[in-house]
Amino acid sequence: MLSGQLYIRDVAVRPAQILAPMAGITDTVFRRFIKRLGGCGLIMTEFVSSEGMLRQNLKSKRFLYYTEEERPITAQIFGADPDRLAEAAVMIEDLGFDLIDLNLGCPAKKVVKCGGSGLLRDLPNLENILRKIRAAVTIPFTIKIRIGWSDDEIVAVPVARMAEDCGVEAIAVHGRTRVQGFSGRARWDVIAEVKQAVRIPVIGNGDVLTPRDAEALAEATGCDAVMIGRAAPTNPWIFRQMADYFATGTYQEPMESDRYGLIREYYAMLVAEDIPGSIGKMKQFASWFTHGVRNGAELRHRVQSADSPREVLDRVDQFFSAARDAEPLLGVEQLEEALPEICG
């Protein structure tokens, strides 16, 4: 069973449940949305290119925007040049983030070419990167890795030991290889090996769809915290459910009325803050938020065919105004089918 909290140096993660960084997902609105639902002890930004930061790229600036409500918060960066990454790390610290994390897990081809899981095949350069970043900043420094490039190149344990030696203060391990992408099953046994190999906190990640999955992961690996990625956009209540389950042994499945409230609030946040590309975000999230809603396909069609954020809100209200009896959301099998493939 997971403990109620995790400390990464002086940063308290309460409860020991973490929102994974996900490209195109974990912007400031989604992060605050998750925090308000409860149960999430630490959130992370979308990964940001060190090169983009140093060029003052507008997208990078937007990715690094956060509010005080989001604390504690980690900024995740990626890249392959040790000196450039160190410079970007200093910028992260100057922006006031509580922690900094290095992405060593993204399997996307364009990221692998300049960092991400590609660094798992170049351990000498990776060691140089870790030492440079550690020397450049005073805030806690963590990494998120995959277990290796392929089944023939499992390097999670040596990477974890090297990271600990370089001053990295926690490591999140996604139990899949780069070659796997998001297919197959996560290898929790490798996460357990990492936990046995190092003294720093180990965060388990992969194949957690329910609180019982989180419990099973913790029991199988001895990990200090659980990180949730792809399940969060489909079931944003999962962190609160986990907190309830670990405290009481039970948790509540949200009802259709809860799903309506969730969709309405998230969309309203996007409209109120005039987030760039709000209409696109609304349509993107409709494919996840509407799973479990009766006649969800019809609601998705209405959202996808809308021309403005305000029209989306009106159509959501109209759709749910006809709903009467609330029903439980989909079971685990259907939720698993709905999981997005997100790089983080």
Active site residues: 106
Taking CA 75 as the corner, what is the angle to CA 97 and CA 42, rounded to the nearest 5 degrees? 80
Please count the other Cβ atoms lying within 10 Å of the Cβ belonging to residue 183. 8
Q: Is 181 left (phi over 0), alpha (psi -120 to 50) or beta?
A: left
Q: Is 62 exposed, middle or buried (0-12, 13-18, 19+ CB in 10 A)?
A: middle
Residue type, 95: L
Phi, psi of 17 (to 5 degrees): -135, 125
Phi, psi of 239 (to 5 degrees): -70, -45
| DSSP per position, 55-70 | TT-HHHHHHT---GGG
What are the b/e assignments for 273-309, b being 16+ CB within 10 Å? eebeebbebbbbbbbbbbbbbeebeebbebbeebeeb
Three-class DSSP category at 102: strand
Question: Measured between alpha carbons, how far is 343 from 325 in angstroms, rounded to an integer?
Answer: 37
Question: Measured between alpha carbons, how far is 300 from 319 in angstroms, rounded to an integer?
Answer: 10
Q: Which residue has the tokens 């900094």?
A: 100
> Do residues 187 and 150 make contact, with C-beta atoms less than 8 angstroms apart?
no
